[in-house]
């Protein structure tokens, strides 16, 4: 179940660390969350249950953004950007082209790929 406790954030029993970001998917009624425990989790917004968990980052996952109803990107303190598809448990693409952690990630509304607003 999706639950929030005073004093610490806990989504179901999956995450016991700080939740850094969340992003809704209105088409599939899912919520993505990223956290200090290095995971990205897809939650069923109706039931509050964990649908899928991705544990590929080696440092806290800081942001996430849906590209479509099945594809999303996550970025992390580990200086990577991962492109995910719900049909697999490993990233479709793992990009390691940064020298610093990435705090935010957004898909470009004008074309293919993603943009990193805090890139230098």
pLDDT tens-place string over residues 26-47? 778 898 998 888 889 998 888 8
- Residues of the chain above pLDDT 90, percent: 25
pLDDT band of 99, cuts 50, 70, 90: confident
User: What's the pLDDT tens digit per position in 48-65?
Assistant: 888 999 988 999 899 999
The position carrying tokens 């990630």 is: 105
* Domains of the chain by residue range: 19-115
CATH of 19-115, one of 3.40.50.620, 3.40.640.10, 3.30.565.10, 2.40.128.630: 2.40.128.630
pLDDT band of 14, cuts 50, 70, 90: low
Higher-confidence residue of 9 and 45: namely: 45
What is the mean predicted confidence (pLDDT) over 86-108?
A: 85
Residue 112 CA, distance from chain mean position: 19
What is the mean predicted confidence (pLDDT) over 2-14?
A: 43
Residues 6+ apart with CB under 8 A from 3: 10, 11, 12, 48
Structural tokens at position 51: 């649908």
What is the mean predicted confidence (pLDDT) over 87-101?
A: 85
């Amino acid at each position: 179940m999706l639950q929030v406790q005073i004093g610490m954030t806990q989504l179901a029993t999956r995450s016991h660390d700080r939740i850094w970001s969340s992003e809704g998917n209105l088409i599939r009624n899912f919520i993505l969350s990223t956290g200090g425990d290095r995971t990205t989790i897809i939650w069923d917004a109706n039931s509050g249950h964990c649908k899928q968990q991705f544990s590929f980052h080696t440092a806290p996952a800081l942001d996430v953004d849906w590209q479509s109803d099945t594809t999303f990107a996550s970025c992390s303190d580990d200086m990577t950007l991962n492109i995910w598809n719900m049909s697999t448990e490993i990233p479709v693409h793992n990009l390691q082209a940064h020298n610093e952690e990435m705090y935010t990630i957004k898909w470009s509304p004008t074309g293919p790929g993603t943009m990193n607003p805090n890139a230098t």
